[in-house]
A and B are shown apart, each in its own frame.
Chain A
Amino acid sequence: MHDIVNTAANFIHLDTINIVYLFLVGFVGGLVSGFIGSGGAFVLTPAMMSMGVPGLVAVASNMCHKFPKALIGSIKRAKYGQVDVKLGIVLGISAEAGVLYGAQIQENIKKAFGEAGSNLYVSAAFVVILAIVGGFVLLDAWKTYKSGNANNEEEKVTKLARWVQSVNIPGTMVYFKSINARISVLFTIPLGFATGMLAATIAVGGFIGVPAMIYVMGAPSLMASATELVIAFVMGLGGSFKFALHGLVDIRLAMIILAGSLFGIQLGAIGTTYVKPYMIKMVMGVIMVIVLFSRGLMVPVYLSQLGLIQEISAGSVKILKNVSFGIMIFALALGAFIVLKAMWQGRKAQQEMAAREVFEQSKI
């Protein structure tokens, strides 16, 4: 009984403003996730924490909204022929292992260096990984845009992916329809594992999963982002159950976010049918690079808390925190804006084409 009282104290009082706030952030997050496969959820954990939700409950509730959202998103995108279920499950299982290992590392760091050490580790992971992978993805999207090949449906397979596809390790080869080739699971396991580790660290595994599928395995962007939803479902289901075993899921928060995010994910998924493949990379790259600055701002705060640099005043810490959160919201909002704009233009172009066809037919 004592435990129940303690756990129940983890669950905050919800008022209308909080509900509307979570619904809206959920919607925007869902929109982005439906489009790029993930990446809409990273704002939710800090958003919940700013409402007074304890860190672990925020992480658990975020995860518990992610797996049903990913399920609906992947079903929707499977209807458009964009999902490689086999690849999603194969990567998802190794990602699950990565999540468990990543969570263990987090725990160890927390034990050894305290809350500030753990925060520093998360922020450093954000900055390093987003700088390398995000920079690469954005540059690639920008090059495609500039090269005049932006309208091409076919995407170039990287040299690395061609090499990965050419390696034949007997007994480990699996055929994946999205890649239209056989790949050794000895490649997919570490990639899935890294996706899971990142998910456990920064809550968005897709920032590694999607680029890995595109650049290392040679999957098309649309299929990679859709398949990421399957990975997110597998990871999220296992992760949520693990948190739920300890009574940490606040189902009200999870379901309110889900209410908004299911509107968003359906729209984001529809959006993918209107855009050129490079737009997936563009949105993903833009969000990754902006979020990198958001987390980068917090690094000095944690360094000072650990006593590694001069102490930063409480006022400055507050300003840095608010600016960092603001930049994160901006990243998500900008991503959503690009998705909606691209979708709007795509729809307009299609309507004009349909009108032209009717006109041509009427002339005959």
Chain B
Amino acid sequence: MSEKNVKRKPYGKLIIMGIISVALYAMLLLKQDIINQYIGRGGMYALLPILTAFIFSFVHGSFTGDFWTVLGIEAAKKKKEVK
């Protein structure tokens, strides 16, 4: 494999997203009493868990995706796309 074909691994993005992800989880667990109280109210507060889920999935999803890339576990080169 020529060096031109070797993609650079996303170390920087992995670290940044990793830090934000850890911070989000730390906040969730440290402030769990307040968070539970608001989310437990229901009604309009129903938007809170949905929003939380979207934010966590964006940050942690990006982190986990890069995590496997950095470990060298990537999709097969030959795509199995089925027409």
Q: A residues engaging B (CB < 8 A)? A: 3-4, 7-8, 10-11, 14, 64-65, 67-69, 71-72, 75-76, 79-82, 153, 155, 180, 220, 222-223, 237, 240-241, 244-252, 254-255, 258-259, 262-263, 266-267, 270, 272-275, 277, 346-347, 350, 354, 358
CA distance A274 to B56 in the complex (A): 28
A-B contact pairs, 26 of them (CB 8 A): A4-B37, A7-B42, A8-B40, A72-B65, A80-B79, A80-B80, A153-B80, A180-B83, A241-B46, A244-B50, A245-B46, A247-B40, A247-B43, A248-B42, A250-B36, A254-B49, A258-B53, A262-B60, A262-B61, A262-B64, A263-B64, A266-B67, A273-B75, A273-B80, A347-B73, A350-B77
Range for the number of chain B residues in contact with chain A: 35 or more
CB distance from A158 to the nearest CB of B (A): 16
With A254-B49, A259-B25, A259-B60 given, is the CB distance from A277 to B82 under 8 Å? yes
Main secondary structure of the interface of A (DSSP, over half): helix
Q: B residues engaging A (CB < 8 A)? A: 1, 25, 28-29, 32, 35-37, 39-43, 45-50, 52-54, 56-57, 60-61, 63-65, 67-68, 73-83
Q: Are A263 and B82 in contact, CB atoms less than 8 angstroms apart?
A: no
CB distance from A212 to the nearest CB of B (A): 17
Q: Are B49 and A64 in contact, CB atoms less than 8 angstroms apart?
A: yes
| Residue of B48, B54, B82 ringed by the most chain A CB atoms within 10 A | B82
CA distance A68 to B50 in the complex (A): 9
Residues of chain B contacted by A272 (CB below 8 angstroms): 80
| Residue of A72, A220, A255, A259 ringed by the most chain B CB atoms within 10 A | A255
Q: Are B40 and A68 in contact, CB atoms less than 8 angstroms apart?
A: no
Q: Are B39 and A249 in contact, CB atoms less than 8 angstroms apart?
A: yes
CB distance from B58 to the nearest CB of A (A): 8
Q: Are A64 and B53 in contact, CB atoms less than 8 angstroms apart?
A: yes
Q: Are B68 and A247 in contact, CB atoms less than 8 angstroms apart?
A: no
Q: Are A258 and B67 in contact, CB atoms less than 8 angstroms apart?
A: no
Q: Are A266 and B56 in contact, CB atoms less than 8 angstroms apart?
A: no
CA distance A67 to B25 in the complex (A): 18
With A258-B57, A350-B76 given, is the CB distance from A244 to B39 under 8 Å? yes
Q: Are A76 and B37 in contact, CB atoms less than 8 angstroms apart?
A: no
Residues of chain A contacted by B53 (CB below 8 angstroms): 64-65, 67-68, 240, 251, 254-255, 258
Main secondary structure of the interface of B (DSSP, over half): helix
With A72-B57, A350-B76 given, is the CB distance from A80 to B81 under 8 Å? yes
CB distance from A62 to the nearest CB of B (A): 12
CA distance A249 to B57 in the complex (A): 16
Residues of chain B contacted by A266 (CB below 8 angstroms): 61, 64-65, 67-68
**Quick one: which of A4, A222, A255, A347 contacts B80, CB cutoff 8 A?**
A222
Q: Are A252 and B29 in contact, CB atoms less than 8 angstroms apart?
A: yes
CB distance from A40 to the nearest CB of B (A): 15
Q: Are A251 and B81 in contact, CB atoms less than 8 angstroms apart?
A: no
Residue of B with least CB distance to A27: B64
Q: Are B32 and A68 in contact, CB atoms less than 8 angstroms apart?
A: no
CB distance from A223 to the nearest CB of B (A): 6
**Quick one: which of A76, A220, A247 contacts B39, CB cutoff 8 A?**
A247
Residues of chain B contacted by A245 (CB below 8 angstroms): 42-43, 46
CB distance from A11 to the nearest CB of B (A): 5
Known: A244-B45, A263-B67. 8 other contacts (CB 8 A): A7-B42, A247-B46, A251-B52, A254-B53, A255-B52, A259-B60, A350-B77, A358-B1
